[in-house]
A and B are shown apart, each in its own frame.
Chain A
């Protein structure tokens, strides 16, 4: 078996300030194989950044271990630092510095000679379409341009593992899509292991994308986006004119299906194949003499997966200040009709 790119065992970080202790990361276990592209998904305060900081030697774990390409990160931080690139949640390039200079500095820091460092910097700057902004103070660049310089800095040493902490936060949808494309392309071209954190659902939502969902510092799900959603199945939502009919329909449906939820005048049924099941349900209810006012079917979204696992919506907990446990008071259970759109694209407060 090859050495995993990253292997954490019972990784824990507890911050203590005064009398309060916050366990940001709680016995986290995670193994990532070389060459994988993994998205760590979780609401604000889930412990994503803290996890990355422990893996990248920026924070000392309270307990547990991290191995990066076999190196024990806590015991040999200097060795580990040679092998990875890190794009933090903030901007890597100093605001008064020119973008290109910063890329060169990082290459020099990794031991390249002057000429080699300059050549490598120019190569990556061209590849990221930054040549026109290379000689401008970073404070005068747009958010998207700055972020691309951060990636250039993280990649200039051709790292075996690249960490990206919320690479696209604060960008407009077009720049986000652009950056996402760049990251996927770089992953294919370099074959490097890439670990990115995000709380934008769509960024983790390619079918084969491995998604690790983190909540309260623990891994609560770890699979491909496709498998996570398939596990939850499709949702058939039926609408009725009144609550009585909805209740009667729910009773009838429970004889054939295990996952039936009522919410007011609507009934949701989770099934493997929504459209086909929808037709059968329609026929069955009609035969039973129950008039249906409307029907819709939808595939599960990652938000549904999160909601199913935690009882909270990822997007709701995101727009809250932090780790709010609140759920929309109108729908106390996870049975409210789901949004039909599987890939919500609206901006979320960062």
Chain B
């Protein structure tokens, strides 16, 4: 299957998925309530208190957290469509299997971008410095990472057909360890060695570290490369697993 065909099919699936979201933009933006609550509850706990500096550290983490949470929902949206006949009906169309996955995973990025913008604008008056280019780069990095996570969630959704509990158990069990060991909510500076090892092995750690630098308008090559590598590893594994799973009929 040629790349242009996959791209065209992906854009068909993506537009289809995005349409209901765009019809209720409020629903999309309201999702920032959770990161804002986390901000209010966690920022004062951080070393140094709720200063501009802690905001600079915390906000990119919150954006990354929204990304992860949204992307892991790809599979649950798929399961909804499998329960009715709409997934089946796309399967019997000439759309390529990989585009069904790519279009869906990409769609999860849309609300994340909206939320990132809202979060940045909301924290701006409290001293969050805005570096447009850096933010753009950070969001792009998170988008890559999200598509990979979305593809994994999609594969999990396919594997959980007719057993929703499986999906939710795995999703819930993994979500918080991944978030915490990536140092999204609290810094891991004082963490025991095993936790630091775990953190280093978690691709999200590197993605978040790079996002923080980008949002702050700094561009240290090693951190950015490590972040990109983390995102690409997740993307490649996600697509490989997801597409393999998708191409197996039943």
Contacts and interface: CB of A to CB of B under 8 A. Distances in A.
Contact of B94 (A92, A109, A153, A154): A109
Nearest to B80: A95
A276 to B, nearest CB: 50
Interface residue SS majority, chain B: helix
Interface in B70-129: 80-81, 83-86, 88-96
A84 B92 contact: yes
B86 A58 contact: no
A197 interface: no
Interface stretch (A100-108, A258-266, A332-340): A100-108
A181 interface: no
A191 interface: no
B20 interface: yes
Contact of B16 (A57, A77, A101): A101
Interface string A89-131: 1111111111001100110111100000000000000000000
B12 interface: yes
B250 A60 contact: yes
Contacts of A187: none
Contacts of B12: 105, 108-109
Given A91-B86, A105-B16, A81 B94 contact: yes
A88 B95 contact: no
Contacts of A88: 85, 88-89
A94 B92 contact: no
B112 to A, nearest CB: 19
B37 interface: no
A81 B91 CA distance: 9
A107 B151 CA distance: 26
Interface string A35-64: 000000000000000000000111110000
A98 B19 CA distance: 9
B94 A110 contact: yes
A58 B88 contact: yes
Interface residues of A, number: 34
Interface string A189-206: 000000000000000000
Interface in B39-75: none
Size class of the contact patch on chain B: 20 to 34
A82 interface: yes
A293 to B, nearest CB: 53
A58 B91 contact: yes
A1 interface: no
B249 A60 contact: yes
Contacts of B88: 58, 86, 88, 90, 92
A91 B94 contact: no
A78 interface: yes
B9 interface: yes
B249 A58 contact: yes
B92 A56 contact: yes
Nearest to A59: B250
Interface string A5-44: 0000000000000000000000000000000000000000
B76 to A, nearest CB: 14
A18 to B, nearest CB: 14
Interface of B: 9, 12, 15-16, 19-20, 80-81, 83-86, 88-96, 249-250
Interface of A: 56-60, 77-78, 81-82, 84, 86, 88-98, 101-102, 105-106, 108-111, 137, 150, 153-154
